[in-house]
Amino acid sequence: MKLETQQQEEPELNLTPLIDVVLLLIIFFMVTSSFVRETELKVELPEASSELPADAASLEIIVNSEGEYFVNGQPLVASQPEVLQRALAKVAGEQRDQVLTIRADARTTHQSVVTVMDVAGRMGFVNITIVTETEGQP
C-alpha cells in the first residue's frame, strides 16, 4: 500500500492589511493629539547698581558669619526666627511696603539668609534687597 504524501504549501504572510492598520493608527494619533503650549513664567531679573534707593536704609538686617542677626544695628538676643519676627514687627510696625535690606557676611551660612527672607516674606514684606560688597569695599 502506497500512501501518498501531500506536499505542504509554505504559509504565506500577507503584510498589506497590517501596514494599512498601522498607517491608520498613525493618522488617528496625529489627528487626535493636541499640541498644548506649556505655561511660561516670565522672570524679570534685577540689575546690579552701585546706588542704593533713598529709603533703603530705613530697615536693615545684618547677618554675621556666626549667624547672629542685627536689626538696624541692634543685636538680637537669640538667632531663632521667632525672635527675628518680633524684632521686625517692633521696628517696622504696620509698614510692610518699605524696603528691607539684608547684609550678610561672606562666611554666613545660606540658611541664615534664607531664614531672614522667609520671616520677611511671611510678615508681608515684598521689597527685599540683598546688598553685596566687592573685596575692596569697606
CATH number at residue 83: 3.30.420.270
* Residue 64 belongs to a domain: yes
* Residue 19 belongs to a domain: no
Domain total in the chain: 1
* Residue 123 belongs to a domain: yes
* Residue 24 belongs to a domain: no
pTM for this one? 0.56
pLDDT digits (tens, 9 = 90+) for 54-108: 544 478 999 988 889 999 888 998 889 999 999 998 988 888 888 889 998 888 8
Q: What is the DSSP string of the chain?
A: --PPPPPPPPP----HHHHHHHHHHHHHHHHH---PPPP----------SPPPTTGGGEEEEE-TT--EEETTEEPS---HHHHHHHHHHHHTT--SS-EEEEE-TTS-HHHHHHHHHHHHHHT---EEEE---TT--
* Residue 23 belongs to a domain: no
* Residue 107 belongs to a domain: yes
* Full residue range of the structural domain in which residue 89 is found: 56-131
Point out the least confidently predicted range of 3-17, 38-52, 64-78, 113-127: 38-52
* Residue 61 belongs to a domain: yes
